[in-house]
Amino acid sequence: MGPAVEAGPTETSATEAEAEVPAADEASEPGPGTDEGTTAPAPTDETGTGTGTGTGTEADTGGEVGTAAATEPGTVTVSGETRLSDTQRAVTDGWPAGTTFTYQWTRDGADIDGAVGETYVLVGADMGRVVEVAVTGTGPEPDDEPATVVSDRRVAAGVAPTFTAQPGTDLTVVAGEPYSFTWKAAGDPTPMVVSVADPRTLVSTLPAGATVTETPGALTISGTSTYAGSYSFGVSTLNMVGIGELLVVDLEVQAAAPASIFATVYTTSATGPWAFAGAVGSSPDDDVLAVSVDDGQSVVLAAYAGDEFGNAVPREALPEGSDEPVYRSSGPGDEAVVLDTGYQGFTVHGAGTRVMSASLAGFTLSFPVEVRSTAVVVPAGSGAAPISSTGSLAYTGSEPAQGLVALAAGLLAAGTVLTVVRLRRRATS
């Protein structure tokens, strides 16, 4: 029994050795790289090998056991044109064989919903924006970690539209002559060029007979207009990137060369209102205007030159020396009068018929004026008073008489001078 007691210290040493070595269930599986780990003390005869402490220590202290390796990344580029509806493709190069990829396309750094494929088709929202793709590659080995590479910055199609050719903003054409004006613009994608409202009036007006033709990158307005007047409209250009410059265009259709003259005729007395008698022209096919007034009343005229389409030709466009009207009356006692408004005419004296005329721009018109006597015989006891009436003969030309009379009456009521009255000849109606 004595020797057994002496062996106690040896058992104690074994116990201490076990305390320094992890238990078998705490030991890691041996793996690569354990040679670089710290080696545990070799077991002695006293300790035995039942616990497997040597390999357990090596696995526990070896730092590289089971560590996943990151996939070696290659490059990512994007192929394809950068126009609307073009296909963009993510091109990978230099990645390990067998690498699998996932994709996320972005617009200005924000993910595009659903754009997770190798290809992506540009849409309107991409115009003028930066489109990129982030590619995540995972190597073929079980422990390979994924690596993500973002493509080079790529600006999608998008050049704002600009005008490359335009005829100007103050355009003039002549009645009866053909015209054509074209506006051109460039951009990416190819822009539209459109006619829009004039921002000053909020409407777009074009001459009668004008044709608007829109083609990719161009707008043409053409036609032949016979009505003189002023028109305005806007021209702008736009594509998916944005809206370009707005041009405000004024288009004037000027009267053609004078082909005849016409005059508006009014009758009045010293105290009575003006009465529109009608309009008369110098062309042979113009209707004859007959005016009837009382003795002592006045006949007032306003002469204008007209082109072949019935447009009034401005005085400044008439030949020098014949740009002022000259009025005449064959009545020997008639007196010439000039009103504050610039209208001229005659106060008639003496019953009977006389001829009044107007000359302008090398043309002359004339019309008869019948003067009625104001002497009235009143039967005894009738109680009737003398009556003085103002003659008014409606215009019987090709334009409606009521409209012309109403126009003249409205202008006179407003205290303005009738500046443009169009005489539509029967030949052009």
Calculate the average pLDDT of the chain: 77
What residues does 218 pair with on adjacent strands? 184, 215
Helix (H, G, I), strand (E, B) or coil at 317: helix
Better pLDDT: 14 or 112: 112
Q: Burial-class residue 126 by CB neighbours within 10 Å (0-12, 13-18, 19+).
A: buried
Average pLDDT on 230-258 reads 95
Better pLDDT: 71 or 318: 318
Average pLDDT on 346-358 reads 95
Q: State the amino acid at position 157 in one-letter form.
A: A
CATH of 160-254, one of 3.40.50.300, 2.60.40.10, 2.40.110.10, 1.10.10.10: 2.60.40.10
Q: In this model, does residue 44 exceed pLDDT 50?
A: no
Strands 170-174 and 211-215: unpaired
| CB-based contact 180:221 (threshold 8 Å) | yes
What are 320's two structure tokens? 């020098």
The pLDDT of residue 271: 65
Q: 54-68, 91-105, 150-164: which has the highest mean pLDDT?
A: 91-105
What residues does 229 pair with on adjacent strands? 253
Q: Which residues have a Cβ under 8 Å from the Cβ of 380 and sit 6 or more positions away?
A: none
Least confident among 60-74, 180-194, 216-230: 60-74
Q: Cα–Cα distances in Å, from 372 out to 9, 172, 249, 325?
A: 165, 49, 55, 27
The CATH class of 75-150 is: mainly beta
- Is the link from the previous residue into 3 a cis peptide, with omega within 30 of 0? no
What are 154's two structure tokens? 């790529």
Comma-separated ranges of CATH 2.60.40.10 domains in the chain: 160-254
Helix (H, G, I), strand (E, B) or coil at 105: strand
Block residue for tokens 């021209």 = 235
Average pLDDT on 353-369 reads 95
Q: What is the dihedral of CA 335, 336, 337, 338, to 10 degrees?
A: -170
DSSP state of 399: S
Residue from 135, 393, 91, 163 nearest 264 by CA: 393
